[in-house]
Amino acid sequence: MLRLLVLFLTLFIYGNASARKFTIGKNGTVVSIKDALKIAAEGDEIQLLPGIYAEGEIVIDKRIILSGTNESILDGGHSASVLLIRSNGVTIRGITIQNCGYSDIREFAGIRLENVNRCIIEGNKLFNNYFGIYLANSHHCRILNNRVEGLAKTETSSGNGIHLWKSEYNLLVGNHVSGHRDGIYFEFVKHSSVISNFSEKNLRYGLHFMFSDDDSYRYNIFRNNGSGVAVMYTRHVNMDHNRFEYNWGSAAYGLLLKEISYSRINNNIFFTNTTGLYMEGSNQTIVENNDFVKNGWGLRILGDCFDDTIRSNNFRGNTFDVATNAVRSMNVFNSNYWDQYSGYDLNHDRIGDVPYHPVSLYSKITEESPFALMLLHSFFVNLMDQAEKVVPTITPEAFKDDSPLMKPLRNDTY
């Protein structure tokens, strides 16, 4: 072990001593980046002085560091990808990258990584690119504190902010993504973490992932995206301490789950979404300690979900707490706080003595015939809901919380 450490240190020091540094620009040692890349050796640093560099597609096939200030602008001139990384261990730091090409066939990106390991993309600004940062079959990379901004107009003509395909063990921290099709997109991505990112005003989803098992999403904010966040066909996902907010529109969701299993969704805030959490075909998933506040539908859980546990959540100010098309409930609700609960607590154990039925009659009817929504907020509908609450006859009897809380929980949310 010690010998290994010594070897490592020697290599480290040796590597550092031999690394050269090129400055690029009018007053630099080399004029163009491509020339510098030709003469650079592994481990060298290429530093961009402030200025605009329009050199077309730049292919990095050596383990170098490319750095600059935010005034160092790489302009792709709308032709192809701006930076194409094909070597392991490349670091791209503090550069502004803009105007990559658009193609219907190829997925050009501001920074595109292909089949590489251990790259670091840190503190860059990406502006008006088709795809922002694109990882294809790349592993152990870190995408840190980048600002990715697109000018997407239609879903078909725009790409994703940070796009990962078939990549493992990657880390995304502190990025800010806006104005793309999907803010962050994962497909076949395993063992990766998405932490403290901010994804807003994207056309479709703030976060979109499919077939990406064993990932975790923590402390992110997904705000005001076209249709919220969608996660599909995935197992073993942890989503905690996120904020899903202001995803408002006739087909918008705070968080949409489709075929998600063995996952945990805890300590999140769902605030002002048309549908806070939408669950379709999800099973063995635990939804715990979340706050559902001021949503149209707090939770929509379809009949093909089973063995899910919904416990210790707060439901406050939602138009409909829970909607379902199911007749029987194969999921467990317990110990949630429901602000529309009107029961009592005789023995003062802070648990209501009568069960709460979160599915209102009207929400059941509208689930079956959506046109009945024309009567939203009408006197008759309110009357009917109250009557049903007193004597439940039509709403699914099994959909109930046997131990509703009298006071809201103080959930540890972000």
Partner 1 sequence: MRKVLKYVIYDVFRSKMLIGYTLLLFAMCSGMYYLGSGDSKTTVSLLHIVLLVVPLISIIFGTIHYYNSREFIELLMAQPIRRRRILLGEYFGITFSLSVALLIGLGVPIALWDFSESSLILLLVGVLLTFIFTALAFLASVRSADKARGIGSALLLWFYFSVIYDALVLWLLSSFSDYPLEKPVLILTAFNPIDLGRVMVLLKLDTSALMGYTGALYLDFFGSGAGILYSLALLLVWLILPLIFSVKIFAKKDM
Residues that bind partner 1 (CB under 8 A): 248-252, 274, 294, 296-297, 317, 319, 365, 368-383
Least spacing, CB of residue 383 vs partner 1, in Å: 7
The residue with tokens 């005789």 is 346
Residue 3: φ, ψ to 5°: -60, -40
CB closer to partner 1 out of 221 and 375: 375
Least spacing, CB of residue 339 vs partner 1, in Å: 12
Q: Which distant-in-sequence residues (6+ apart) come within 8 Å of 288 by Cβ?
A: 264, 265, 266, 267, 309, 310, 311, 312, 313
CB closer to partner 1 out of 18 and 342: 342
CB closer to partner 1 out of 59 and 302: 302
The rounded distance, in Å, linking the Cα atoms of 186 and 165 is: 6
Least spacing, CB of residue 411 vs partner 1, in Å: 20
Least spacing, CB of residue 201 vs partner 1, in Å: 17
CB atoms within 10 A of CB 2: 6
- Which of these, 175, 53, 178, 84, lies nearest to 128 by C-alpha position? 178
CB closer to partner 1 out of 260 and 365: 365
Least spacing, CB of residue 126 vs partner 1, in Å: 31
CB closer to partner 1 out of 319 and 335: 319
- Give the CB-side neighbour count of residue 171, counting CA atoms within 13 A: 11
CB closer to partner 1 out of 138 and 272: 272
CB closer to partner 1 out of 374 and 390: 374
To the nearest 10°, report the CA torsion of 104, 171, 180, 78: -50
Least spacing, CB of residue 362 vs partner 1, in Å: 9
Radius of gyration of the chain (CA): 26
Least spacing, CB of residue 225 vs partner 1, in Å: 14
111, 97 in Cβ contact below 8 A? Answer: yes
CB atoms within 10 A of CB 105: 5
Query: What angle do helix axes 379-390 and 361-368 make, rounded to 10 degrees?
Result: 120
187, 135 in Cβ contact below 8 A? Answer: no
Q: How far is CA 278 from the centre of its chain?
A: 15
